[in-house]
Each structure stands twice: as C-alpha cells, then as structure tokens.
Amino acid sequence: MKALCNARVFDGDRMLDRHTVFVDCGRVVSVVPEPSGVDPIADAVDLNGLIIAPGFIDTQVNGGADVLFNDEPSSEGIARIVAAHRRHGTTGLLPTLISDDRAVMERALNAVAEARRAAMPGLLGIHLEGPYLNPKRKGIHREEKIRTPEPDAVTLLSRLGDEATTLVTVAPERVREGFIAELSERGVIVAAGHTAGTYADIRRAQSEGLRGFTHLFNAMTPMTSREPGVVGAALAGENTWCGLIVDGHHVHPATARVAVSAKMRGRIMLVTDAVHAAGSTHRELEFLGQTIYRANGRVTSATGTLAGSDLTMDRAVRNVVDLLALPLEEALRMASLYPAAFLGIDAEYGRIRPGYRADFVALDDDLRVVGTWIDGVADSDAPAAPPARIGVGSGPG
C-alpha cells in the first residue's frame, strides 16, 4: 500500500484540497481528506501541497529527445520516446509513425507488439499517421510515401488486435467505401487527417465509424460559408474527438478558443505532434532526409513548413490556461480524461478514483512537472531508458 499525502487532488472532475490518495497493486484504492491518518503499513509520500492529477495521455508523439519513431521503429526507440515525454507528465502515449514504406510500418507494429508484451510502462499502442493520405494536404509527409491502401491494408492495420490500441489517420476521400467500417469493426480507431475531403466525404466516413480528427485545422480543408469542409464536419460532429496542438503556432489562440466553444464539451483533446526536437538541445535535426529547424517554439523545414513540434504536454496544459484562458481543471481534462475517452479507456484512465490505474502527474503552482507515477510506480523508481542517439545539432535550445 502506498499513500500520497497532503496533496491538492484533481480527480478528473474537481480539485480536492488536502487529500490523500491510497494506491495498491497499481490501482487507486481510495481518495480521502486530510487529516485521515495513514495506515502504518502504507508507504507514505508527503507531497507538500502539490497538485496531483491524472497522468497526461498523448495520442500523437512522433518522437522525443533526439529519437524519431520513423528512424528507430524498435522497442528501444519507443522506450526512449516514452521516457522523454514522461519527464513532462505524459504517462500514456501512442508513438506515431508518419507515412513510410511498408517495411517500416511492419517494423513499427512489431516493435509495439514486443514492447506491449514486455509491459512497457507508458505505452498504450501505436498511431499510424498515413500513408493513406491526400498529397494535396501532405504537410511535411513525403509525397513519394503517400499511397492508396493495398489490398491487405485492413489486415496490416489491425494486426495488433487486442494487444494494443491502434489509431490510424487516413484521408477519407482516398480510401474505398467500407474501408473505415472494416477497420472500425476490427477495433481500430480511425481519424481523418491530411485530407482535402469535403463535408460530405467526412459525413460518409462518420457513418462508417470515423472517430477523430488529427491536428484540427492543420492539413485539412477549412470551414467556409458554403462548404463546411473537414473543419466544419469536425466541429459539428457529436460522436468524434479533435486533437488540438496548443503551441501558439499550429493554431492561433483565438481560433483555438472558437473551436473549444463550438465543439461539444469533452471532445477536444490536447496532442503535441512532437518530433525528436521535443526535449532536445539541438536547433537543427535530421528529419526523414531533410534538415528541420527549431526556434522560438516552432519546428519547420527549410521552406517554412511546420514539421511537427517541440511541444510537451505540460507546456500544452499551461498554454491552455495562459493562451486560451480556460480553467486549469478543463486543461487537465483535455490532457487526460478526453484522450482516454477517445481511446475508449476512460473506465481505467483519466480520473483518480477507486479502481482506476494509478497513473499520476504531480505539478507545482507554476504547473511544472515534479514527478509522475505509472501503475503506482514513481518515475524515480522506474528503470532508466536506454541512452538516446544524438542527431545533428548546432547548440543548446
């Protein structure tokens, strides 16, 4: 039994002052007010008034600390990415592979299966962002890697089954009728992204089970007065979730505020879209055959195209409070409960309640991460990740 004492506990619904969280066997046992007395058999940790909240969940993580998943689609690469983002409060993530060759996709799927069998803390599954996208909205994706689905694409994308969560981003107008429905029936979560589709295209995809939208506003058709486009379909859909990159660059804060107001509450979640620049000290890094540049919170190609981000979830939470002027409680839900609901795991993740997994982040008054727990194990007690491979750099960030 472990007792996390003297904390401000955000349980997923409300902030509870001076409470203790009891944990046993990786699960929350109870949340009780202070002073309650700590069971003498419990291992007590005094948090001295820190905020303890459900650990952050990021569904779009391309890399971190100089490791890009496309370059290192291995369990070792995943471990380094997970460790890099755990330092910023993320206790559950989907390593994200952007459009690449079939062989790389298979290696990535095999790596996630291997890591899940080894019960790697913090790994929830995989996000395959492509390659079944629209070249007209390719963003930083390499056009030569983008293609229409192969005859056995459904089998490939669903190969992990119940072993891990699989999220796939497609351009609905580029896949055959029934493709999204077949994936959904096999338990694969399908999102729309890098799409030039129309409102009607998205509505058809929603009828087949489309569940989300990848980095809302970016690489998709905008909403206009006569054609709602993908953005309009995303904001109007009642049974879908939208990933939002709140770094002040991908989406203007005013636009983000409008989106949060327009979309049904609980259906906008924070994502980082982080590449290996996140947690790196380098200003220049190699990215799939080209150099990308990191400066002032932006990561771009030589032509100025956004190349993911160096955002972390703790910074995204602070930005929601500072840039969007939303309450802290809602920012924390956007980082934990709402992505858990999107992934269909909100019966175990996203709250601090009896029976839920003991995945927590501790924050100080400035919303800086002080520590994390996954299944009740503190980061200080977790095994170290393998050392990162350093990329091309030009000085500290």
The answer to whether the beta carbons of residues 341 and 55 sit under 8 Å apart is: no
Tokens encoding 321? 């409070």
Cβ count near 35 (within 10 Å)? 10
7 DSSP β-pair partners: 19
- The residue with tokens 């999102």 is 191
Cβ neighbours of residue 253 under 8 Å, at least 6 residues apart? 246, 323, 324
Q: What 3-state class would DSSP assign to 107?
A: helix
Cβ count near 236 (within 10 Å)? 17
Which 8-state DSSP code applies to residue 388? P
Cβ neighbours of residue 264 under 8 Å, at least 6 residues apart? 238
d(CA 316, CA 236): 24
Of 7, 1, 13, the closest CA to residue 352 belongs to 13
Q: Residue 202: phi, psi to the nearest 5?
A: -70, -40
Strand 67-68 and strand 63-64: the pairing is: antiparallel
The radius of gyration of the chain from alpha carbons, rounded to an integer in Å, stands at 20
d(CA 11, CA 39): 21
Of 244, 219, 222, 195, the closest CA to residue 342 belongs to 244
Q: What 3-state class would DSSP assign to 302?
A: coil
Q: Which of 66, 201, 247, 273 is catalytic?
A: 273
362 DSSP β-pair partners: 52, 371
Cβ neighbours of residue 171 under 8 Å, at least 6 residues apart? 132, 133, 134, 137, 192, 193, 194, 195, 196, 197
Burial per residue of 46-82, b for 16 or more beta-carbon CB atoms within 10 angstroms, e otherwise: ebeebbbbbbbbbbbbbbbbbbbbbbbbbbbbbbbbb
Check if 66 is active-site: no
Q: Which residues are catalytic?
A: 273
